Amino acid sequence: MIARRLLRALTTLLGTTLIIFILFRVVPADPAVSIAGPKADPETLAAIRKDLGLDDPLPVQYGRYLAGLVRGDLGRSYMTGQRVADVIAVRVPATALLAGVSLTLGFLAGLVVGIATAARRGSTIDVAVLLGTLVGLSLPTFWLGNLLIYEFSYRLKLLPLGGYGTVRHLVLPAATLAIVEFFFYARFVHTNVGGMLNSDYIRTARAKGSPPARVYFVHALRNALIPIVTLLGLDIAALMSGVVLTETVFNWPGLGRLAVQAVFDLDLPLVAGTVLFSAVLVLAANLVVDLVYVVIDPRVRHG
């Protein structure tokens, strides 16, 4: 099973590299102009294109691109000349810190609230929480981030406007993402756990005198874990790929802000590197989720 999943992941990754290569060759942007500037003379532009190998046939360029990827070489940034892999590696810790804190807070809070409301389906608090999550999911992330900046940085002057380096810099961007994650997981967990509470094994557990906490957090939650774990795995990959809006609003030096800057600079190797890194994260998350399925549900192993 692992071998099949790895083969599928490698095939998908190869297709992703082909799509990236084709898209960046049809983009109406000249890398030579990005490097030398719009006022460069034709001889200089031609020399740069030759040096980059852009005059070679497309199959040759693609083969050279794949050979570099096999060696771990994602190319060099047009703007700085640095290796793309090094630039991405520098930004990963900031994104990992933001993603880890926000997802942990949002997921745990959403898990507890989702199970608590599922246990009281139809009650006033259940309806109130569901309506609240619906409103919360409708809030744009950039609007929520700017609202927190206005309240806690501009008006109350309790926290920095943005930046990176201390715990105080982390509070607002992490809170922005955690609030969104909380609303999402509270509703998702409520739906999945609530659907399990009318099952025969839940009625049997209650008839045998199992405590409510065990019924909800062990019997119901474990059988609802597969869709939750699936979503959690993809969410981790998405957050680790860089949260573009949040990182831009808070001037957070992560992968999302790096990708935006690369797009505005028409730095195609850097854009391709961030996209490919995101694809690898998604494929790795899918592989890990498939393995976790076997642990949480033995029926998957037998199937």
Q: Pick from 17, 38, 70: which residue ends a domain?
A: 70
Which range is most confident: 27-31, 32-36, 254-258?
254-258
List, for residues 145-200, the tens digit of each pLDDT value: 999 999 999 998 899 988 888 999 999 999 999 998 999 998 888 888 877 777 77
Gyration radius from the chain CA atoms: 24
Residue 282 token pair: 């998604």
85 assigned to some structural domain: no
Contacts of 155 (CB under 8 A, 6+ apart): none
Q: Pick from 70, 105, 125: which residue ends a domain?
A: 70
Confidence check: pLDDT of 114 > 70: yes
Residues 112 and 38 in one domain: no
Residue 129 token pair: 């929480």
Residues 56 and 134 in one domain: no
Separation of alpha carbons 253 and 92, rounded Å:
9
Alpha-carbon distances, residue 125 vs 105, 113, 217 (angstroms) = 22, 10, 19
88 assigned to some structural domain: no
Residues 122 and 265 in one domain: yes
Q: Which residue has the higher pLDDT, 104 or 295?
A: 104
Closest CA to 47 of 35, 39, 63, 65: 35
pLDDT at 235: 87
CA 76 to chain centre: 24
Separation of alpha carbons 157 and 146, rounded Å:
14
Residue 125 token pair: 């608090």
Q: Print the domain residue range for 36.
A: 2-70
Residue 58's CB is within 10 A of a number of other CB atoms, namely 11
What is the enclosing helix (H) or strand (E) of 300? helix 298-302
Q: Note the helical H segments in 71-123.
A: 84-118
- How many structural domains is the chain composed of? 2
81 assigned to some structural domain: no
| Phi, psi dihedrals of residue 73, rounded to the nearest 5° | -100, 110
Indicate the burial class of 206 (C-beta count within 10 angstroms; 0-12, 13-18, 19 or more): middle
The structure's pTM equals 0.82
pLDDT at 93: 92
